[in-house]
Amino acid sequence: MDLQIDHVQVAAPEGCEHAARQFFGELLELKERPKVGAPTMRGGCWFHVGALEIHIGVVPDFVPAEKAQVALRLQTVGALEALATRLEGAGHPVRWNDGLPGISRLFTTDPWGNRVELLAHKEPPHA
């Protein structure tokens, strides 16, 4: 079987689109992908990261995911540190974590309290 991850869905409350575009689009610099078909009627928005997508989906009785998370990898530790500064400047908490050898990583939250992990290899990974 040849499986690949196509997208990850992150739950958000109704009316989340503006905040999603600010956080995922402006702060994280992800490109928005137009929604097509029936999903256009359900609210939310979609972003892509290379060939993968993050879908922000509206949940009427929304509760933030405090453990489950989307993890995004940056190319360099310097880029991760710069993003941490932007996140803090925009009022998003940044909590650094040194639990993985060779990885610099932090946790933050999206505008609705869902946990987001951001990481970079301290040295380029070996192929």
Domain of residue 57 covers 7-121
Pairing label, strands 95-97, 103-109: antiparallel
What pLDDT does 43 receive? Answer: 87
> What is the model's pTM?
0.89
Among residues 72, 39, 49, 54, which one has the least CA distance to residue 9? 54
How confident is the model over 57-91, as pLDDT tens digits?
999 999 999 999 999 999 999 999 999 999 999 99
pLDDT digits (tens, 9 = 90+) for 110-123: 999 999 999 999 97
| 127 in any annotated domain | no
CATH value at residue 101: 3.10.180.10
Average pLDDT over every residue of 41-58? 90
Written as six digits, the tokens of 17 are 């689109």
Whole-number Å distance between alpha carbons of 49 and 103: 20
Residue 104 neighbours by CB distance under 10 Å: 20
